[in-house]
Amino acid sequence: MRGSGKRWTVAALAVIVGLVALVLVPLAGATAAPSLKQTCVQAGLVAPVVTEAVMEHPGSRRGRMQSISIGLEVPAMPEECWGVYQRISSAVPQIQDPLHHGRWYDTVGCRITPKECVGMTKPNWYVISQSKDAGGPVGLYSPPSGHEGDFLYYACTPGPGVTHVRLLLRRTIRSVSTHEVIARSRINVRPVEVRGKKC
């Protein structure tokens, strides 16, 4: 009987220890602080605030030239991330094809006619904030490139439709020491206001 009692006592203790372990392990995981890498990635991938996104003089080839002005307010990275992880923000403005609204063309890199841009798979990204760890405002001014007559100009959609302009935003986080990309955001899309065009 004594041996049987001891076995029951040992078994009961084992069950109690197991239950305590099941409770404590999730609690320990829930209270564990995020790593520096996790902290920097989470902060670095926060989308910037678009303070301005305007196309001026759309379709204008002479005198006042078509241009796009972009203003962004970039949230600051935590100071402990500075010098360890680098955030690179980039953007590319695009114009909708006036005849086929499912197609979009970069406002840079497309020359002569929109047809030459068909099949492009990689946008021409502007780096708008290289290592902007402390945050703050940054700007992008996208004038037409090349010689007169060689750019992609805004054109009105025939009929009641509207040709839109948009801005694609992207953030990348990489290690300063190894230059390895450790995170990349999904592309965010922001509308660009078109001013001065009466279709």
E strand spans, 36-164: 49-56, 67-74, 85-96, 104-106, 126-130, 136-142
pLDDT in tens, 1-34: 555 555 555 444 454 445 444 444 444 445 567 8
Q: Which residue, 86, 75, 90, 89, is CA-closest to 174?
A: 86
CB 185 within 8 A of CB 170: yes
The model's pTM: 0.70
d(CA 122, CA 152): 17
* Confidence at residue 154, expressed as pLDDT on a 0 to 100 scale: 87
- pLDDT tens per residue across span 56-98: 888 876 667 788 888 888 888 899 999 999 988 888 888 898 9
Q: What string of H, E and C letters represents the secondary structure of 120-157?
A: CCCCCCEEEEECCCCCEEEEEEECCCCCCCCCCCCCCC
Please check whether residue 138 is in contact with residue 50, taking contact to mean a CB–CB distance below 8 angstroms. no
